[in-house]
């Protein structure tokens, strides 16, 4: 079947069928009859994209009902009462039998029941069955509350862990998309640093990276950027805090964390200096690479994330650097932060074929120090660095 020319880098139908079969086997094992998920963005709303190859966007809720024994029903933004019968052979909606629409908005609280009421029409056959909720942290309270009350005789279970265990392991097709995302970001970083000059604002540098990525197939992401005088380190941030004007001698830090063609995320982070890079700054980058190696040496299948976190922080502490207290290493896929999170509260183990980013980031000795690259986990640990941008501080 030829897919619509409007789709940008569609996932193959065979890959979608692989995902559905794996989840349905897990549902059979765990005695779950139907799944419900709801996302509202394509930064960290990857469940609906993974099941349907259509992203949730712009804060609009997109709800997917995935039965163990039937095709999917989707609820999304659209006119009152609109129904798209996405029959077998659809060139956009694959594995979906109906798309139900409603003009609901989180900024208009009185519409909070519109989406769950439509989802309930697909859940009627499972009124006394077991309903698995997926991605409950992003699912609206109104949706979950409505479904629990409407189907009081059903058994509701948390099914995110079941799906995450499958979703976090990348197929051959997904790994190729991960590689394409990394290559795209290499180009975006080169374009942005080539444009850096005194008089530009931080947001203009980020815009160069975004423009390059979008022309190469990216659909969404974040572009964190900040300039700072050497010796006056600062954190980077989103566009609202990117108004500073770059001056000669500044350090400029840029994170390109966007989805590549097909929707997979990787992230690339580097610094440049508008002038000469001090030797002390180069020395600290060498330490940053050594700190990253501590993590890479432990990213082997079967390793606990807590053990990696503890070893990294012990290395930082021993060498007088700040310990990590947030997140410096994690999985990526359709979510820019996907499990596993490499820290002390993550129950998931490192597994073969995960897409893992490592980005030790800290302020020390007058500089913001960091390095950010992705790796695919092989049978004995990470393979080669996916990004090819040099591991250096660029002079511009």
Domains of the chain: 13-167 (3.40.350.10), 172-395 (3.90.230.10)
Backbone angles phi, psi at 139, to 5 degrees: -60, 135
Cβ atoms of 371 and 288 within 8 Å: the answer is yes
Neighbouring C-beta atoms of residue 343, cutoff 10 Å: 20
User: What is the structure's pLDDT at 92?
Assistant: 86
User: What is the structure's pLDDT at 3?
Assistant: 74
Q: What share of the chain is helix, strand, coil (3-state, %, to 5)?
A: 35, 25, 40
Q: Which two tokens stand for residue 275?
A: 């002038």
> Average pLDDT of 303-327?
98
Confidence bin at 349 (pLDDT 50/70/90): very high
Using one digit for the tens of pLDDT, what is the confidence trace for 11-52? 999 999 999 999 999 999 999 999 999 999 999 999 999 999
Using one digit for the tens of pLDDT, what is the confidence trace for 186-210? 999 999 999 999 999 999 999 999 9
User: What is the structure's pLDDT at 84?
Assistant: 82
* Burial label, 40 (beta-carbon count in 10 A; 0-12, 13-18, 19+): buried
Q: Which two tokens stand for residue 145?
A: 């509350």
Q: Is 90's pLDDT higher than 90?
A: no
Residue with the bigger pLDDT between 327 and 1: it is: 327
Measured between alpha carbons, how far is 141 from 75 in angstroms, rounded to an integer? 16
Measured between alpha carbons, how far is 396 from 279 in angstroms, rounded to an integer? 16
> Average pLDDT of 128-137?
97
User: What is the structure's pLDDT at 6?
Assistant: 84
User: What is the structure's pLDDT at 5?
Assistant: 84
DSSP states of 66-98: EESSS-EEEEEE-STT-EE---TT-SS--SEEE
Q: Is 325's pLDDT higher than 90?
A: yes
User: What is the structure's pLDDT at 243?
Assistant: 98
Cα angle vertex 114, ends 109, 118, to 5°? 160
Using one digit for the tens of pLDDT, what is the confidence trace for 133-183? 999 999 999 999 999 999 999 999 999 999 999 999 999 999 999 999 999
> Average pLDDT of 311-334?
98
Cβ atoms of 129 and 157 within 8 Å: the answer is no
Q: Is 1's pLDDT higher than 70?
A: no
What residue ranges in the chain does DSSP mark as E strands? 34-39, 62-67, 72-77, 83-84, 96-102, 130-134, 155-158, 221-229, 250-258, 268-273, 329-331, 338-341, 355-358, 361-364, 367-370, 373-378, 381-382, 394-395
Of 302, 288, 266, nearest to 385 by C-alpha is 266
- In percent, how much of the chain has pLDDT > 90? 95
User: What is the structure's pLDDT at 247?
Assistant: 98
This prediction's pTM = 0.96
> Average pLDDT of 240-260?
98
């Amino acid at each position: 079947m030829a897919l619509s020319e409007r789709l940008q880098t569609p996932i193959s139908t065979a890959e979608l069928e692989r995902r559905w079969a794996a989840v349905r086997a897990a549902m059979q094992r765990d005695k779950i009859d139907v799944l419900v998920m709801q996302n509202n963005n394509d930064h960290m709303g990857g469940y609906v994209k993974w099941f349907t190859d259509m992203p949730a966007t712009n804060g609009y809720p997109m709800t997917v009902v995935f039965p163990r024994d039937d095709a999917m029903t989707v609820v999304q933004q659209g006119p009152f009462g609109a129904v798209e019968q996405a029959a077998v052979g659809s060139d956009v909606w694959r594995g979906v039998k109906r798309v139900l629409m409603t003009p609901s908005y989180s900024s208009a609280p009185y519409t909070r029941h519109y989406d769950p009421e439509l989802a309930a029409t697909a859940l009627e056959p499972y009124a006394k069955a077991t309903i698995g909720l997926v991605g409950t942290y992003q699912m609206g309270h109104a949706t979950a509350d409505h479904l629990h009350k409407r189907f009081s005789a059903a058994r509701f279970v948390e099914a995110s862990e079941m799906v995450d265990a499958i979703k976090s392991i990348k197929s051959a097709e997904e790994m190729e998309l991960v590689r394409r995302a990394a290559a795209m970001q290499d180009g975006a970083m080169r374009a942005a640093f080539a444009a850096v000059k005194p008089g530009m604002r931080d947001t203009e540098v980020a815009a160069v990276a975004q423009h390059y990525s979008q022309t190469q197939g990216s659909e969404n992401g974040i572009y964190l950027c900040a300039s700072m005088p050497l010796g006056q380190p600062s954190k980077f941030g989103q566009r609202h805090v990117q108004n500073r004007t770059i001056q000669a001698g500044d350090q400029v830090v840029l994170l390109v964390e966007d989805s590549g063609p097909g929707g997979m995320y990787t992230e690339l982070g580097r610094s440049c200096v508008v002038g000469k890079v001090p030797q002390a700054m180069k020395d600290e980058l060498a330490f940053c690479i050594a700190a990253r190696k501590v993590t890479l040496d432990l990213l082997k299948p079967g390793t606990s994330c807590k053990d990696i976190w503890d070893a990294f922080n012990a290395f930082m502490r021993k060498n007088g650097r700040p310990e990590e207290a947030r997140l410096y290493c994690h999985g990526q896929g359709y979510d820019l932060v996907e499990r596993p999170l490499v820290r002390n509260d993550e129950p998931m183990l490192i597994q073969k074929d995960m897409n893992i980013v490592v980005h030790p980031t800290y302020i020390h000795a007058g500089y913001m120090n960091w390095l950010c690259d992705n790796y695919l986990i092989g049978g004995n640990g990470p393979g080669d660095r996916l990004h090819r941008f040099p591991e250096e501080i660029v002079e511009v």
